[in-house]
Amino acid sequence: MMYEFICNDCGHEFEELIRPCQADRLACPQCGSSQVNRLISAVKRHSSDGATTSGPEAGACGPSGFS
């Protein structure tokens, strides 16, 4: 899933396509710092008929999507 992050060192905001359990392995693409936090944002899902919905979704790393 696509998540938004912010770097604690340089303030750069960026998006990454990852599993939630991989967030602790991220590095800021601007300065290389591993001190990044995920921003809270709505989850958007697209169905096969083209409709868009938002809300919580269980992830591949556990029932809540976090491990």
Give the domain ranges of the chain.
2-41
The pLDDT of residue 7: 96
The tokens for 16 are 């990454």
| Mean pLDDT, rounded, of the chain | 76
The tokens for 5 are 């992050």
The pLDDT of residue 43: 63
**Residue-wise DSSP of the chain:** -EEEEEETTT--EEEEE--GGGGGG---TTT--S-EEEPP---EEE-TTS-EEES---BTTBTTS--
Of 3.40.640.10, 3.40.50.2000, 2.20.28.10, 3.30.70.1400, the CATH number of 2-41 is: 2.20.28.10
The more confidently predicted of residues 31 and 56 is 31
pLDDT average, residue stretch 11-28: 87
